[in-house]
Structure 1
Amino acid sequence: MAGLLPVILSYAPLTLGMASLAMAIALALAAMLAVVRVLKVPGLDRIVAVFISFFRGTPLLVQLFLFYYGLPQVIAAFRSIDGVTAAVAGLTLHFAAYMAESIRAAILGIDRSQWEAGQSIGMTQLQLMCRIILPQAARVAAPTLLNYYIDIIKSTSLAFTLGVTEMMGAAQKEAAGSFRYFEAFLVVACIYWAIVEALSFVQRRMETRLGRAFAR
């Protein structure tokens, strides 16, 4: 088992890199989707609602297969897509749909007086949203968004189904080559567990600090 640890752990940078990239893009996309939903932008609001419904209502694995195996058959531009790109794209859109609803809820939770104060000094809805509402909403939603990052990290384990050798893919290969399935999968499980526990600790500290800030 000790020999498997460094081998599988060497793929942790790829796992965390995929998760971090997906999180960054998903967060930006989710903020835009949430703003469209809150402001009820004509023409876009319904499209965004369908987007969120689809990606929240279908399994992540199905979405990954659509990106990697399905789209290349119908769209020529996707024929050269690699497993990492497909995995990041799938993770991004899937979790953007969930994060958009969390950010939307945080925005709607901001006191109405904040909106009225901004409007009273002549700010447009977009200016008000970007300068006043979103920064406060981000503070409220931060612990939940960090929890989604944890979920993304765990979900990268599905990337091996697209031929990506990340931590789960490395464990699968090591297990198949040595027939040490229990040891290989136990090692990768422990690595994921350690990462999640570290991030969960950060999340708890964040929630405590935010709780103190709002109590003042």
Structure 2
Amino acid sequence: MRALDLDFMIGLVPILLGYLPLTLFMAVVGMVCALVLGCLLAMERVARIPVLDLFVKLYISFFRGTPLLVQLFLFYYGLPQVMPFLSGMTGVQAAIIGLTLHFSAYMAESIRAAIVGVDRSQWEAGEAVGMTRNQLMGRIILPQAARVAAPTLVNYFIDMIKSTSLAFTLGVTEMMGATQKEAASNFLYFEAFIVVAVIYWIIVEALSFVQRRIEVSLNKAFTR
């Protein structure tokens, strides 16, 4: 059994950290877009607009029921064959689209559950003072739903950061792609994957700490 090449592992750290901004860029952009889309889908699921509701259910079912990797391949390799105008799409763009659509389906259900979980008396109180539906949602329902949904949404962001590692299958050189290249050029796969695993682990633990702080802050705000 050979010893670990510590010099290679230490030297690999700054190389992989150089690709961290791209990893975070894909995750942040994907999270923002998924959150916006997820909110819209959740609002529709609560309103249950005829016909549109059927398409939204189908959308959520498809993106929750198929693997993210399959979806990424579908967007990057499949769609350009039937839609030639998409042939210029880059791997980063395809990865962001895939992350957005995939996680928006999960976020939609979490946000919908948080909205319908608000006590019915809150709805009735808002209606009793003459609030419109938009005012009721913006001033009463959504702030309370956000408190419930926030921890879950942070978890989705954590999952999204980890899922960016699939972007290397589209030819994107982010942290995982860089790890693959460095490992292949040195034949030190074990050491390379240990390093990238630890980097992802540290990022996730940092975000988990932020998540706990958010929960504490929200709980304080609602217990005063």
Question: What residue is the counterpart of 1:46 in the other structure?
Answer: 54
Render the CA deviation track for 1:130-149: whole Å, top value 9, x for unaligned. Answer: 33212221121101100000
Q: Does 1:127 align with 2:146?
A: no
Choose 1 or 2 for highest CA Rg.
Answer: 2
Partner of 1:70: 78
State, as a whole percentage, how many aligned pairs show the same letter. 71
Give, in angstroms, the shift of residue 213 of structure 1: 4.2
Distance, in Å, in 2 between the alignment partners of 1:145 and 1:186 is: 28
Report the Cα offset of residue 177 of structure 1. 1.0
**Structure 2 stretches of 5 or more lacking a match?**
1-8
Alignment partner, residue 168 of structure 1? 176
Q: Which residue is 1:150 aligned to? A: 158
Structure 1 consecutive aligned stretches of length 4 or more whose deviation exceeds 6 Å: none
Q: Deviations over 1:161-191 (max 9, x none)?
A: 0000000000001111111111111111110
Q: Distance in 1 between matches of 2:102 and 2:221?
A: 32
Normalised by the length of structure 1, the TM-score is 0.95
1:16-55 CA-to-partner distances (Å, cap 9, x unmatched) read: 1100000000001001100100111122111111100000
Question: How far, CA to CA, are the matches of 2:15 and 2:95 in structure 1?
Answer: 22
Cα separation, 1, equivalents of 2:141 and 2:79:
37
- What SS is found at the alignment partner of 1:3? helix
Q: Within the alignment, does 1:117 sit opposite 2:112 as a pair?
A: no
Q: Distance in 1 between the 2:30 and 2:138 partners?
A: 22
Please tell me the root mean square deviation across aligned C-alpha atoms, in Å.
Answer: 1.3
Instruction: State the number of aligned residues.
Output: 216
**1:125 deviation in Å?**
2.4
Partner secondary structure for residue 2 of structure 1: helix
SS in 1 for 2:10: coil
Partner of 2:195: 187
Which residue number corresponds to residue 9 of structure 1?
Answer: 17
SS in 2 for 1:81: coil
Distance 1:130 1:205 in 2: 24
> For 1:148 and 1:186, how far apart are their aligned partners in 2?
24
For residues 176 and 19 of structure 2, what CA distance do their matches in structure 1 show? 9
The code of the aligned residue for 2:132 comes to: T
Amino acid at match of 2:50: P
- 1:93 paired with 2:101, answer yes
| Residue identity opposite 2:85 in structure 1 | A
- The reply on whether 1:31 has 2:39 as its aligned counterpart is yes
How many angstroms does 1:203 deviate by?
1.2
| 1:82 aligned partner | 90
